[in-house]
């Protein structure tokens, strides 16, 4: 009983202490959730801003690429139409004599009406100038030029675009656009050439805002670089066919956007490219990744710093709050310690008041209180209550023979057997007085009580404690078992005469005990 009372006291104190645990746990959970939500919101804002910047850059580069492609396509179409006209006149009317003069004037007229074209030229099969749009014809031979060699060795009648070259007449960088001339028998008759000034494209491209590290370029399908901004003369004609953009064009098709690493300078850029519909040219505009995300990085740092500051403030406030709770906990711990000491003292007093000092069973006072309580409960519920009274046979002789110390040891051993017999939690084993013991069995009828009594009797016999003063030679006990219950419809076995009465029940059990003694001891009477 002492252990049970102490446990209940500790449990009560623990419950008082635990009342704060849900609050602390709730506050901790709320802090974690709030910080997580703040981090998630910050991450979402940064991620969303990144996508907005990326999308805007894609639209910008795509629009620039479309504008560049449109401008280049227009210039190429004008040159192509002029060349088609020049080829027809040269092949039909000829390019020598009076016909050559008319052709010369025709070239001058065409160029004067078209700003995109720098010059128009006609060469014979040997590379000699036959007609030109220049005001002053120049001497020289263009047979070694790439376009001239191509037309001489290929019977292709379509327009051919070459890598930029320096004009022999002016020294300017020009883009040659040419067509093959043929004699009536189909043999090579020369080349009709239109040239576009490279710096004309550069003037247009310089008006575009490409940031610090953006670029524009257009190249032939075979990877020959025609122009790149920022302009570097050494890059003209460079082979970039193995570069990332040309590979992407071959894999994805004529129009696209991709983040790529430039082969020329190693800068990562967002490229938008377009392939001209009628000409073997790819045009691209690009913004560097650093330029695209410069503002985004600044925004991300500001938002991230603000979020970290807010989280730091929340953690600081939470720590202050936890410190206050910790101070209260220490005060409450001291109070619990004092309360526990008081409870322990009360439990000890209760144990002294309700426990037999020798056997540690319930004492007579506690027995009376429990029996009264159970009889009242039985009066309400109609359930039976049984009482076992027993005492040690010939115990006076045992004391006379072995002494009081041995007698106390004998009582302790018998008390253990009695306690073991009262196995249920609600059963009560008590020392009734001297060598007498009692067992209260709530909710137990006479048959069950008789079984418990016999278990105790046999357990004592099984101990085989020597007793020279007993006829059996060992320590035995005699027992009396009495049962009472209130008569009700739920317990038809209970007679009305057997209503629960504490004194009557004790008296009846005592009478049955003495019947066991009179009948020879070491037996149970019910």
Examine the domain organization and report whether 391 and 341 are in the same domain: no
Distance CA 126, CA 501 (A): 145
The answer to whether residues 442 and 375 belong to one domain is yes
In a domain, residue 202? The reply is no
The answer as to whether 105 is a domain residue is: no
Q: Would you list the DSSP string of 87-118?
A: HHHHHHH-SSHHHHHHHHHHHHHHHHT-TT--
Same domain, 393 and 511: yes
Local confidence band at 119 (pLDDT 50, 70, 90 cut-offs): confident
Taking CA atoms, 476 is separated from 210, 456, 458, in Å, by: 112, 10, 9
Q: pLDDT higher for 137 or 288? A: 288
Q: Indicate if 369 and 500 belong to the same structural domain.
A: yes
pLDDT digits (tens, 9 = 90+) for 38-54: 889 889 988 998 899 88
Q: Residue 489 — very low, low, confident or very high, per pLDDT cuts 50/70/90?
A: very low
Let me know whether 407 and 316 are in one domain: no
Name the range with the highest mean pLDDT among 19-33, 472-486, 490-504. 472-486
Stronger pLDDT, 115 or 468, i.e. the higher one:
468
The answer to the question of residue 460 being in a domain is yes
Report pLDDT for 497.
40
In a domain, 484, yes or no: yes
- pLDDT 10s digits, 294-317: 888 888 888 889 889 988 888 888
From 317, 347, 377, the end of a domain falls on 347
Alpha-carbon distance 445 to 494, whole Å? 9
Average pLDDT over residues 143-159: 89
How far apart CA 117 and CA 176 sit, in angstroms, is 10
Average pLDDT over residues 181-191: 91
pLDDT band at residue 504 using 50, 70 and 90 as cut-offs: very high
CA 319 from chain centre, in angstroms, equals: 26
Q: How confident is the model at residue 12 (pLDDT cuts 50, 70, 90)?
A: low
Same domain, 373 and 496: yes
Contact, 432 vs 367, CB < 8 A? Answer: yes
Residue 35, domain member (yes or no): yes
Do 428 and 336 lie in one domain? The reply is no
Share of the chain above pLDDT 90, in %: 33
How far is Cα 409 from Cα 359, in angstroms, rounded to an integer? 9
Question: Do 328 and 441 fall within a single domain?
Answer: no
The residue ranking higher by pLDDT, 348 or 496, is 348
Same domain, 517 and 476: yes
Q: Establish how many alpha carbons lie within 13 A of residue 158's alpha carbon, considering only the half-sphere containing its beta carbon.
A: 6
- Considering 347, 375, 407, which residue would you say is the last residue of a domain? 347
Instruction: Please give the pLDDT value at position 89.
Output: 85
Which among 149, 217, 152, 143 has a CA at the least distance from the CA of 182? Answer: 152
Assess whether pLDDT exceeds 60 at residue 2.
no
pLDDT(461) > 60: yes
The per-residue pLDDT for 315 is 87
Residue 182 lies in a domain: no
One of 116, 343, 374, 435 is an active-site residue; which one?
435
Say yes or no: 318 and 390 in one domain: no
349-382 pLDDT, tens digit each:
666 678 888 999 999 999 999 999 999 999 888 8
Which tokens go with 152? 């001489």
Examine the residue annotation and report whether 435 is marked as an active-site residue of this protein: yes
Task: Kindly state whether residues 329 and 433 are assigned to the same domain.
Answer: no
pLDDT for residue 496 is more than 50: no
User: Coil, strand or helix: which one is 466?
Assistant: strand
Q: Lowest mean pLDDT: which of 196-200, 481-485, 505-509?
A: 196-200
Residues 334 and 424 reside in one and the same domain: no
pLDDT of residue 493: 46
Is residue 15 assigned to a domain?
A: yes
Q: Is the Cβ–Cβ distance between 144 and 127 less than 8 Å?
A: yes
pLDDT at 63 over 80: yes
Expressed as residue numbers, the domain containing 19 is 2-40+309-347
Query: What percentage of the chain has pLDDT greater than the value 70?
Result: 89
Q: What CATH number is attached to the domain comprising 438?
A: 3.30.70.270
10 domain residue, yes or no:
yes
Average pLDDT over residues 261-269: 83
**Of the candidates 318, 347, 376, which is a domain's last residue?**
347
Compute the mean pLDDT over every residue in the chain, rounded to the nearest whole number.
85
Instruction: Tell me the whole-structure pTM to 2 decimals.
Output: 0.55
How many domains does the chain fold into? 2
Q: Are 355 and 475 in contact (CB under 8 A)?
A: no
């Amino acid at each position: 009983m002492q252990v049970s009372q102490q446990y209940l006291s500790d449990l009560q104190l623990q419950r008082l202490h635990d009342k704060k645990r849900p609050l602390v746990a709730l506050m901790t959970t709320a802090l974690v959730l709030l910080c997580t939500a703040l981090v998630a919101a910050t991450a979402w804002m940064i991620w969303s801003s990144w996508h907005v910047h990326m999308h805007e850059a894609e639209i910008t580069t795509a629009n620039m690429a479309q504008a560049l492609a449109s401008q280049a396509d227009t210039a190429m179409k004008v040159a192509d139409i002029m060349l088609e006209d020049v080829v027809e006149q040269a092949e039909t009317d000829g390019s020598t004599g009076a016909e050559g003069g008319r052709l010369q004037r025709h070239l001058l007229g065409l160029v004067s009406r078209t700003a995109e074209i720098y010059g128009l030229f006609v060469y014979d099969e040997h590379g000699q100038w036959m007609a030109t749009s220049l005001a002053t014809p120049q001497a020289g031979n263009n047979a070694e030029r790439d376009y001239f060699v191509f037309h001489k060795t290929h019977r292709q009648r379509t327009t051919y675009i070459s890598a930029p070259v320096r004009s022999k007449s002016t020294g300017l960088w020009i883009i040659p656009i040419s067509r093959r001339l043929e004699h009536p028998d189909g043999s090579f008759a020369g080349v009709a050439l239109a040239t576009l000034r490279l710096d004309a494209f550069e003037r247009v491209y310089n008006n575009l805002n490409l940031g610090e590290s953006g670029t524009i370029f257009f190249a032939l399908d075979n990877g020959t670089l025609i122009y790149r901004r920022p302009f570097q003369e050494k890059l003209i004609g460079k082979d970039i066919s193995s570069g990332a953009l040309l590979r992407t064009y071959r894999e994805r098709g004529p129009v696209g956007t991709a983040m790529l690493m430039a082969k020329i300078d190693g800068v990562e850029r967002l490229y938008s490219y377009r392939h001209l519909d009628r000409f073997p040219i790819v045009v691209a505009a690009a913004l560097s990744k650093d330029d695209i995300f410069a503002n985004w990085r600044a925004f991300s740092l500001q938002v991230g710093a603000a979020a970290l500051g807010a989280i730091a403030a929340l953690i600081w406030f939470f720590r202050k709050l936890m410190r206050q709770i910790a101070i209260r906990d220490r005060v409450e711990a001291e109070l619990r310690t004092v309360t526990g000491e008081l409870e322990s003292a009360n439990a000890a007093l209760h144990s002294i008041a309700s426990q037999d000092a020798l056997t540690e069973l319930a004492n007579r006072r506690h027995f009376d209180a429990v029996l009264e309580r159970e009889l009242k409960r039985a009066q309400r519920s109609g359930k039976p209550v049984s009482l076992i009274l027993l005492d040690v046979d010939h115990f006076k002789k045992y004391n006379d023979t072995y002494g009081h110390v041995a007698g106390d040891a004998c009582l302790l051993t018998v008390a253990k057997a009695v306690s073991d017999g009262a196995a249920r939690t609600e059963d009560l084993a008590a020392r009734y007085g001297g060598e007498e013991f009692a067992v209260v069995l709530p909710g137990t009828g006479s048959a069950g009580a008789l079984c418990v009594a016999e278990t105790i009797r046999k357990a004592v016999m099984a101990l085989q404690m020597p007793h020279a003063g007993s006829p059996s030679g060992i320590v035995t006990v005699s027992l009396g078992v009495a049962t009472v219950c209130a008569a009700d419809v739920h317990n038809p076995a209970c007679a009305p005469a057997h209503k629960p009465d504490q004194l009557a029940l004790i008296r009846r059990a005592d009478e049955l005990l003495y019947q066991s003694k009179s009948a020879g001891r070491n037996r149970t009477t019910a």
